[in-house]
Amino acid sequence: LFKGYFNANADVGLFTQDIAGGAISSVVDTTMTALGGSGNVTGFGGFAADNGHIAFLGNYSGGSAIYLYEGDTLRRLIGTGDLVDGHTITGLSFSQEGIGGDYLVFGASFSGGSGIYSTMLTSAVPEPSTYALLAGAVVLGLTMWRRRRVICRAGSTHPAL
């Protein structure tokens, strides 16, 4: 998949492209309603892609928010009006270097100060390695249970510990 920023005919947005089939799909564009904001997305202040994630700063009437797109799901991570460290966010910044591996870094400003924050990106869908780990634990547990039963049948009155 190609992930990128596209501007054509005054429609601005983020799109993915299936290289094999050539189909372009919209992640978000200026015709879409802003998640957790008011009105449509009006523009973008930063964009980064890494490790299957697309993160961007989306502006809307009255504020902005940082959004994350992974798989086929778009979600709002944080936006103006939210609280961070007990302060109400009045502005956000995000750049191309703002995402790496499973971390997202962004700047937030609020009355009386500003800061740089990071958050770990978590996926709602477990990775295949997680399923393999769980399957291994189940097999190990069943093997131990079976061995204890075999020892019991062999004449012992108590299962082996």
- Report pLDDT digits (tens) over 45-67: 788 888 778 888 888 888 899 99
Convert the pLDDT of each residue in 94-110 to its tens digit: 887 778 777 888 899 99
Highest mean pLDDT among 31-40, 102-111, 141-150: 102-111
Answer yes or no: pTM beyond 0.85. Answer: no
d(CA 92, CA 89): 7
Alpha carbon separation from 161 to 136, 150, 152 (Å, rounded): 21, 13, 11
C-beta separation of 46 from 56 below 8 A: yes
DSSP alpha helix (H) spans, 15-127:
none
d(CA 146, CA 89): 57
Show the tokens assigned to 145: 């249970």
